[in-house]
C-alpha cells in the first residue's frame, strides 16, 4: 500500500457538509441534553476527521472506524448522520486499493441497511440518500488517491532525472580533470626531475629556467581546473546549502539555518558553494562538537555567511583545503575571517557587484 497523505490545506472547507447533520437540530423535537450530546458527538467526529488527515494511508482505518462508530451512535437520534458516513467513504476511497475499498464500502452500506431496518425510518430516504452519498464521495476519495500517487510518481521521476544529470556532470568533470591533470602532472614531474638533475650537475641557471617553467605549468593547471569545476551544474545555492545541512545532520549534528540565502551571479554562486562544501567537510572531519549553525545576512556593500560549530578548537591549520578556500575568495575580492573563542566561527564576506 502506498504511504500517501491527504493535503490538509482545504480540510476545513469540506466540513460544510456537516450542515446536513445540524439541520435536524433546528426542526426536530430534541431536549437540551440530546442537543448537547449530538454537538459533542459532532465535535468528536471533527477530531477524528482531522485525525484521518494526519494519518498515513496504511493506518487510516483507525480514524475511519472511529467515525463510523460515532455516526452509528447518533443515527437513532439524528438521521442526518448520513453526512458522517459520507466522510467515511472519502477516507476509504483514498486509503485503500479498489478491491479492499469495495469490501469496506460494502460493509458500511450493509450497516446503513441494518440501521434503516432496525430504526424503521419513514421511507427509504436514509438508505437511498446515504448509499448515493457514500458511493459518490468514495469515488472522490479514490480519484484524490490517484492524483496524489501521480504527483508522487512525477516527483520521483524528476528526482531520478536530476540524479542522472548530476552523475553525467560528475563523469564529465572526472574526465576533464583526468585529461588536464594527467598531462600537467607528467610535465611537472619531468621539469622537476630535470631541475633536480641540473642542480646536482651545478648548472643553476638552466635549473632555474626549468623551475620557472614548472611554476607556470602549475599556474596554468590550476586555472584549467578552476574553469572545469566552475562548469559544474549545481542545483543552486539554496539547494546546496540545504544538502550540506542534511549531510551534517546525518553525522549527528544539530543544524540551524537562518537568514535569507542571497541570489548571486553564476561565478560567485559556484565559488561560494565550493567554499561552503570545503568548510562543512572540515567540520565533519575535525570538529568535536555536535551542533552547527549557518547564517546568511546582508549589508549595504556585501553578503555575509557565518558557519559556527561548538567544537573546541585550539588552532586552525591552513592546509590545502583552507588555502584553496582563501584563493577562491581572493579571486572574488571576498575574505574569510575566523574566531576560536567560542567554538569555531568562520565568516565569509562577499562584496556585491564583483561577479
Provide the residue-wise pLDDT of the chain in tens; the chain has 355 residues: 445 566 666 567 667 777 777 777 777 777 788 888 888 988 998 888 888 888 877 788 888 899 899 988 888 888 888 888 888 888 888 888 888 888 888 888 888 888 888 888 766 677 877 788 888 888 877 888 888 778 777 877 777 777 777 776 676 666 656 655 665 676 788 778 888 888 888 888 888 887 888 787 777 777 667 666 665 555 678 888 888 888 788 778 899 999 988 888 887 888 888 888 888 888 877 788 889 999 999 888 899 999 999 887 766 666 656 777 888 888 889 998 888 877 888 899 999 875 4
The DSSP letter of residue 198 is H
Same domain, 22 and 148: yes
Same domain, 191 and 243: no
CA distances from 132 to 81, 82, 83, 176, 283 (A): 14, 10, 11, 66, 62
Output the pLDDT for position 355: 44
Domain assignment present for 29: yes
List all residues 6 or more positions away from 137 whose beta carbon is below 8 Å from its beta carbon: 86, 87, 89, 90, 93
Q: Give the domain CATH number at 206.
A: 1.20.5
Same domain, 194 and 287: no
Q: 141 with 93: CB under 8 angstroms?
A: yes
Q: 52 with 6: CB under 8 angstroms?
A: yes
List all residues 6 or more positions away from 48 whose beta carbon is below 8 Å from its beta carbon: 63, 66, 67, 70
Work out the burial of residue 275: count CB atoms within 10 Å of its CB; fewer than 13 is exposed, 13-18 middle, 19 or more buried: buried
What pTM was computed for the model?
0.41
Q: Which of 186, 209, 230 is the last residue of a domain?
A: 230
Rounded to whole angstroms, how far apart are CA atoms 145 and 135? 15
Rounded to whole angstroms, how far apart are CA atoms 167 and 173? 10
String of b and e for 66-79 (b: at least 16 CB within 10 Å)? bbbebbbebbebbb
Q: Which of 185, 209, 230 is the last residue of a domain?
A: 230
Domain assignment present for 1: no
Output the pLDDT for position 321: 66
Rounded to whole angstroms, how far apart are CA atoms 22 and 223? 75
Same domain, 132 and 259: no
Give how many domains the chain has, as a whole number: 3
Domain assignment present for 343: yes
Would you state the cell numbers that stand for residue 186, as one nine-digit string? Answer: 607528467
Same domain, 19 and 143: yes
Q: Give the domain CATH number at 324.
A: 3.30.565.10
| 3-class DSSP state of 23 | coil
Would you state the cell numbers that stand for residue 8, as one nine-digit string? Answer: 490538509
Same domain, 202 and 329: no
Work out the burial of residue 145: count CB atoms within 10 Å of its CB; fewer than 13 is exposed, 13-18 middle, 19 or more buried: buried
Check the CA dihedral 26-31-35-38 and report its sign: negative
Same domain, 275 and 341: yes
Domain assignment present for 7: no
Would you state the cell numbers that stand for residue 304, as one nine-digit string? Answer: 555575509
Domain assignment present for 265: yes
Output the pLDDT for position 330: 87
H or E element that contains 108: helix 98-119
Domain assignment present for 245: yes
Q: Which of 209, 230, 251 is the last residue of a domain?
A: 230
Nearest C-alpha neighbor of 5 from the set 91, 102, 99, 105: 91
Nearest C-alpha neighbor of 48 from the set 73, 80, 20: 73
| 3-class DSSP state of 350 | strand
Same domain, 25 and 143: yes
Same domain, 84 and 213: no
Domain assignment present for 25: yes
Same domain, 182 and 272: no
Same domain, 213 and 182: yes
Domain assignment present for 166: no
CA distances from 67 to 39, 55, 74, 142 (A): 14, 14, 11, 18
Q: 273 with 252: CB under 8 angstroms?
A: no
Same domain, 258 and 200: no
- The torsion defined by the Cα of 73, 14, 136 and 116, in degrees rounded to 10, comes to 20
List all residues 6 or more positions away from 190 whose beta carbon is below 8 Å from its beta carbon: none
User: Residue 314 belongs to what domain range?
Assistant: 237-351
Amino acid at each position: 500500500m502506498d504511504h500517501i497523505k491527504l493535503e490538509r490545506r482545504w480540510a476545513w472547507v469540506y466540513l460544510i457538509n456537516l450542515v446536513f447533520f445540524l439541520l435536524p437540530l433546528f426542526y426536530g423535537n430534541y431536549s437540551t441534553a440530546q442537543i448537547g450530546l449530538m454537538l459533542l458527538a459532532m465535535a468528536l467526529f471533527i477530531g477524528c476527521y482531522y485525525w484521518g488527515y494526519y494519518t498515513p494511508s496504511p493506518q487510516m482505518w483507525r480514524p475511519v472506524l472511529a467515525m463510523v462508530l460515532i455516526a452509528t451512535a447518533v443515527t437513532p437520534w439524528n438521521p442526518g448522520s448520513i453526512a458522517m458516513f459520507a466522510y467515511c467513504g472519502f477516507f476509504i476511497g483514498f486509503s485503500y486499493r479498489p478491491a479492499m475499498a469495495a469490501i469496506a464500502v460494502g460493509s458500511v452500506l450493509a450497516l446503513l441497511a441494518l440501521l434503516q431496518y432496525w430504526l424503521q425510518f419513514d421511507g427509504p430516504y436514509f438508505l437511498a440518500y446515504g448509499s448515493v452519498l457514500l458511493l459518490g464521495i468514495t469515488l472522490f476519495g479514490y480519484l484524490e488517491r490517484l492524483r496524489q500517487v501521480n504527483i508522487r510518481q512525477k516527483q520521483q521521476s524528476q528526482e531520478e532525472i536530476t540524479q542522472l544529470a548530476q552523475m553525467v556532470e560528475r563523469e564529465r568533470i572526472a574526465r576533464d580533470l583526468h585529461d588536464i591533470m594527467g598531462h600537467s602532472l607528467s610535465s611537472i614531474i619531468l621539469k622537476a626531475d630535470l631541475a633536480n638533475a641540473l642542480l646536482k650537475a651545478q648548472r643553476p641557471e638552466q635549473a632555474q629556467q626549468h623551475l620557472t617553467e614548472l611554476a607556470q605549468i602549475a599556474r596554468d593547471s590550476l586555472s584549467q581546473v578552476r574553469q572545469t569545476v566552475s562548469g559544474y551544474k549545481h542545483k543552486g545555492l539554496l539547494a546546496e546549502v540545504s544538502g550540506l545541512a542534511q549531510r551534517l545532520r546525518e553525522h549527528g549534528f544539530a543544524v540551524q539555518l537562518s537568514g535569507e540565502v542571497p541570489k548571486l551571479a553564476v561565478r560567485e554562486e559556484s565559488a561560494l558553494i565550493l567554499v561552503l562544501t570545503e568548510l562543512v567537510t572540515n567540520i565533519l572531519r575535525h570538529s568535536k562538537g555536535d551542533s552547527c549553525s549557518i547564517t546568511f545576512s546582508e549589508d549595504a556593500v556585501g553578503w555575509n555567511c557565518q558557519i559556527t560549530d561548538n567544537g573546541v578548537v585550539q588552532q586552525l591549520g591552513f592546509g590545502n583545503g583552507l588555502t584553496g578556500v582563501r584563493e577562491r575568495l581572493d579571486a572574488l575580492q571576498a575574505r574569510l575571517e575566523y574566531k576560536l573563542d567560542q567554538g569555531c566561527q568562520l565568516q565569509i564576506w562577499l562584496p556585491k557587484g564583483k561577479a
